[in-house]
Amino acid sequence: MTVTRFAPSPTGWLHIGNLRTALFNYLIARKTGGQFILRLDDTDRERSKAEYVDGIKADLDWLGLHWDRIERQSDRLGRYAEMGDSLRAAGRFYECFETPTELDLKRKKQLNMGKPPVYDRAALALDDDAREKLRAEGRQGYWRFRLDLQRIEWTDGILGDLSIDAASVSDPVLIRADGQVLYTFASSVDDMDMGITHVVRGADHVTNTATQIQIIRAMGGTAPAFAHHSLLTGPQGEALSKRLGTLSLRDLRAQGVAREALLSLMARLGSSQPVALRADLDEIAEGFDLAQFGAAPTKFDAADLWPLTRAHVQALPLDAVADRLRDLGVPTEIAPAFWAVARENIDRLDDLTDWWALCRDGATPEIAPEDTDFVAQALTLLPPPPYGPQAWADWTAAVKAATGRKGKGLFMPLRKALTGRGHGPEMGALMPLLQRVRALEDRLA
């Protein structure tokens, strides 16, 4: 069975980059009838927050990316300790004592000598007495994984055949001095124990993947099939990381972006397939293919979400918005007519609020100085609401006959007087929905 996972750290809100990773892993599982695991990387006790856990669940639930089960790394600390002991016994874990400052000086020295800044494995030369002396000085040991200095090769689901020389990579720190298990180790243990078969994540993890493959093999496991999608940039190719705070999923949802728009865009962006609005996840999954994605950085523009949102919203049937109309206070008997009028004039569902306010409360009239006398005369020919389906045609015909105006000079001032806007639905359809006309009330006051 195909088993995938999405492993966010609950130290902040999910953003558009996280969505790409979650969606790809979800679609692989859905397309093959497999399992999708939500795994919370919450070993950072200080930064992991319950509110972010709730936010992750809420975002995924809103998107329809429902997980088959949830795992928390904080519940598996005993397992990590067990595997750590096993790797120590096998000679693959070794204790180090260098401070961050000392490591930084080593890196600078290597760079100045034209060498790659790779950890020199000095800690391997320490004997028990030397380690005890360092502890007596107040130093706390942390643990690195000793890599086999050979090429690590795998066929990436997006990037193709990859090969990384382990000698060009520092032995990764897997357990900090305070005992915190780091992502690379916890994720490797989890992927092995949970039978993860496929992992899709960002291209910035390629080197990390190489070390994880060795770690999993050292523990006696089989590494998943890895694929690394391109990283997102801004519309001009700029780094997106500085803008992710404004691209959280919760903020996009609050702005009225439709989940269908998000899913449709992110499931095809960066691939050779065209982006098009798709109705549901089954349709999105049907055409999803990792092989269609490229390695080049992918430009993301939040503005592209709005045409898709507009197309989705305007295609909704009445029953899909009935609850929202009822919550707005739209009477059931006029809801079909109101939706038919409003749907072609909204970019997001929240725009319905303004259109219903116009119908219910009337609008502040917009009257140009040169049209003041014309509108005043026209209003003497307008009866108060309610209006029938012929009200607009009858009124404009009467005004035309009385004033001689025609065309835009006739219709635009009257539209603005009734709606306060120079654009919108056909007035013949909108006028029967108007429960108040402020311009008329002002004249009669």
Per-residue pLDDT band at 45 (split at 50, 70, 90): confident
* 433, 359 Cβ separation under 8 angstroms: yes
Q: In what order do the strands lie in the sheet with 3-6?
A: 3-6, 35-40, 69-72
- Is the per-residue pLDDT at 172 higher than 90? yes
Look up residue 61 and give its amino acid: D
Residue 306, C-beta contacts closer than 8 angstroms, at least 6 positions apart:
257, 261, 347, 348
What is the mean predicted confidence (pLDDT) over 187-216?
A: 97
Per-residue pLDDT band at 169 (split at 50, 70, 90): very high
* 41, 73 Cβ separation under 8 angstroms: yes
Cα(439)–Cα(208) distance, integer angstroms: 68
The pLDDT value given to residue 439: 93
Domains within the chain, CATH numbers bracketed: 68-229 (3.40.50.620), 233-314 (1.10.1160.10), 318-444 (no CATH)
What's this model's pTM, rounded to 2 decimal places? 0.89
The pLDDT value given to residue 95: 96
- Is the per-residue pLDDT at 444 higher than 90? no
What is the mean predicted confidence (pLDDT) over 421-434?
A: 96
What is the mean predicted confidence (pLDDT) over 336-363?
A: 96
What percent of the chain has pLDDT above 90?
A: 93
- Is the per-residue pLDDT at 130 higher than 70? yes
The pLDDT value given to residue 120: 95
The pLDDT value given to residue 287: 87
What is the mean predicted confidence (pLDDT) over 131-148?
A: 95
- Is the per-residue pLDDT at 232 higher than 60? yes
The pLDDT value given to residue 445: 65
Per-residue pLDDT band at 241 (split at 50, 70, 90): low
Residue 111, C-beta contacts closer than 8 angstroms, at least 6 positions apart:
117
- Is the per-residue pLDDT at 415 higher than 80? yes
The pLDDT value given to residue 279: 85
pLDDT tens track for 243-257 = 556 689 999 999 999
Look up residue 184 and give its amino acid: T
Rounded to the nearest integer, the mean pLDDT of the chain is: 95
